Amino acid sequence: MQDRRQFLKSAALGAACLAAPEAALKRLKAQTAEARIEILLEEPIGRIAPEIYGHFVEHLGGVVYDGVWVGEKSKVPNTGGLRTELVEALRKVRPGAIRWPGGCFADQYDWKDGIGPREKRPRRTSFWAQAQEWTKTMHRGGAQTYEPNEFGAIEFARFCKLTGAQPYFAANVRSLPALEFARWVEYCNAPAGSVSLAEQRAADGERDPLNVRYWGVGNESWGCGGNFLAEDYASEFRRYTAWLPSYGDRLALIGSGPSSDNLEWTRRFFKKAAEGGVLGGMWGWGLHHYSWNASGGRTSDWVKGKRDALRFDAEQYYEILREASQLESLIDAHWGVMGECDPKHAVKLVVDEWGAWYAGGSEPFPEALLGQQNSMADAVLAGLSLDIFNRHAEKVAMANIAQLVNCLQSLFFAHEDRFCLTPTYHVFDMYAAHQGAQSVRTVFTAPAVRYTRNEKPATLAGLAGSASRSGKQLTLTVTNPSLDQAREAEIAIRGATAQSARATTLAASDVHAHNSFDAPREVEPKTEALNLRGGLVVHRFPPASATKLEIALG
């Protein structure tokens, strides 16, 4: 079968060589590019935690106020103050977990400001009021600068309940004492009627415990979370978490891990934590990795060095994807270092901030600090990253894209009564099929993408993806990063036979394509049934695309 198809392809190419002009020949070559995907059902990796499909909501710019929270008196349709359109769209993609209230904001936040009657809550200066990312054309002031605390623990817990997500709180380690952490846990989780804070919770509208299981112990403790040394943070971690009350299930405590490739932060924390007996009480270790390329890698200025969200050339496009694909080696490297002190790997990785981070200028509205447009390129980046997490399902217990709405690589834009889904949203929708399924080893063979990086040749994997199985349902997701080459791939399933298949593809004729309030449906996925060829699934992955194949197994 394979020989015959090879022959037909060669024959077609040969005929084209004789008759077709060069452009047509190039097109034909592009259409017949060779790729192969082998799915090894007998080689399970681990269960894909639904929490890998997690999100991040920080009190920053237009994320909480205007994005998630519009208030009960708003004309914008809302459910107890929460933007209904967003709640419904988010529920559809089954968010595993949502991290809140920050980010850097978390280490300046007093949880008590966000409880009690809303009209009596204090207004505070937001952590982000002074951020250097505010540009002259943006509007400061309002909730983005002076935090009104209308949205607190109860409002967040209700948001999680409505969307079906697990709440993941980040506690303040930089500027609140350890006792406050214990008190916040008590407020959230103590049984109804048991203690004063449970009474307070009932007065705030929630009689029953909120059952918050995931707790981050600070955020970026090497930076905005206190500028700690790794050893000092390990001691603080122990002080803040030893003897914490837990009601029912043990709390899942998550340490503030490294930024990208800071292996020393991981090594030094784990060494000290192991000595202090901290690791036994830890559930997860946070890893933050943003993809930003400083104008093609030529400058490292924090704010000015980043590129535009929509104006980018081929080099900048491939470079952002290369930076995202580093997640794979970062996961392996930190996992290896963690194993030096935790050989049984009781502590898992939590990639609780990831995504693309661009320069200012494409905010969806002027209050949206760190808001940026989201193109088809970002959809490829999202698919590529989620596939990496799936492929490391035994190591990665949670991941949270930054951030949910109006900020960095968001799933939504929402402002006043306007709302739209970004291409990244569609990837989360497509990839949700992996949640809870068994990740299986998958081997991709495809010609590499070749491009120029700083005037030197560089390459990127031609096709990448992940596969998972749930009963008779096999899900394969694939990204094709190439800007101009479609890849036709044979998909071989070892250990079962395909009975039927369908493909959902997210692609656009221009990788810069994006959705906006005025044109919300420029980038949308399309689904089609596939013909099987003698038990093989053969599919053509368009350039710069993310695809989901749903394969029914015999």
Query: Which span sits near ligand AHR by CB under 6 A: 4-12, 99-107, 320-328, 494-502?
Result: 99-107
Residue with structure tokens 């916040």? 184
Residues 6+ apart with CB under 8 A from 410: 371, 372, 374, 403, 404, 422, 424
Binding mask 138-177 for ligand AHR (x = CB under 6 A): ----------------------------------------
Distance of closest approach, residue 103 Cβ to ligand AHR, in angstroms: 3
| Residue nearer to ligand AHR on the CB measure, 154 or 404 | 404
- Contacts (CB under 6 A) with ligand AHR, residues 403-462: 403, 408
Distance of closest approach, residue 308 Cβ to ligand AHR, in angstroms: 18
The secondary structure element, H or E, covering residue 369 is none
Burial class (CB in 10 A: 0-12, 13-18, 19+), 498: buried
- The pair phi, psi for residue 26, each rounded to 5°, is -60, -40
Burial class (CB in 10 A: 0-12, 13-18, 19+), 526: exposed
* Residue from 58, 147, 319, 429 in contact with ligand AHR (CB under 6 A): 58
220 is catalytic: yes
Rounded to an integer, what distance in angstroms lies between the CA atom of residue 281 and that of residue 284? 10
* Residue from 219, 385, 406, 435 in contact with ligand AHR (CB under 6 A): 219
Tokens coding 451: 């491009």
Distance of closest approach, residue 253 Cβ to ligand AHR, in angstroms: 18
Q: Which of 58, 328, 353, 363 is catalytic?
A: 353
Residue 363 as a binder of ligand AHR (CB under 6 A): the answer is no
CA 392, distance to chain mean position in Å, is 14
| Residue nearer to ligand AHR on the CB measure, 209 or 216 | 216
Rounded to an integer, what distance in angstroms lies between the CA atom of residue 1 and that of residue 533? 9
Query: Which span sits near ligand AHR by CB under 6 A: 147-155, 200-208, 274-282, 402-410?
Result: 402-410
Rounded to an integer, what distance in angstroms lies between the CA atom of residue 337 and that of residue 360? 36
Q: Which of 206, 220, 236, 363 is catalytic?
A: 220
| Pick from 25, 9, 29, 20: nearest CA to 485 | 29
Distance of closest approach, residue 398 Cβ to ligand AHR, in angstroms: 15
* Residue from 350, 381, 402, 486 in contact with ligand AHR (CB under 6 A): 402
- The pair phi, psi for residue 390, each rounded to 5°, is -60, -40
Length of the chain, please? 554
Asked whether 520 and 420 are in contact (CB, 8 A), the reply is yes
The secondary structure element, H or E, covering residue 340 is helix 314-341
* Residue from 220, 319, 378, 387 in contact with ligand AHR (CB under 6 A): 220
Distance of closest approach, residue 130 Cβ to ligand AHR, in angstroms: 14
Residue 352 as a binder of ligand AHR (CB under 6 A): the answer is no
88 is catalytic: no
Rounded to an integer, what distance in angstroms lies between the CA atom of residue 302 and that of residue 308? 14
Query: Which span sits near ligand AHR by CB under 6 A: 98-106, 294-302, 468-476, 541-549?
Result: 98-106
| Residue nearer to ligand AHR on the CB measure, 360 or 465 | 360
Distance of closest approach, residue 5 Cβ to ligand AHR, in angstroms: 48
DSSP reduced 3-state for 233:
helix
Using CB positions, name the residue nearest to ligand AHR: 103
* Residue from 353, 387, 490, 550 in contact with ligand AHR (CB under 6 A): 353
DSSP string, 82-114: EEHHHHHHHHHT---EEEES-SGGGGG--GGGG
CA 444, distance to chain mean position in Å, is 23
Distance of closest approach, residue 288 Cβ to ligand AHR, in angstroms: 6
Residue 102 as a binder of ligand AHR (CB under 6 A): the answer is yes
Residue 104 as a binder of ligand AHR (CB under 6 A): the answer is yes
Give the residue numbers annotated as catalytic, written as ranges: 220, 353
Q: Provide the binding-site residues for ligand AHR, judged by CB under 6 A.
A: 58, 102-104, 219-220, 353, 402-403, 408
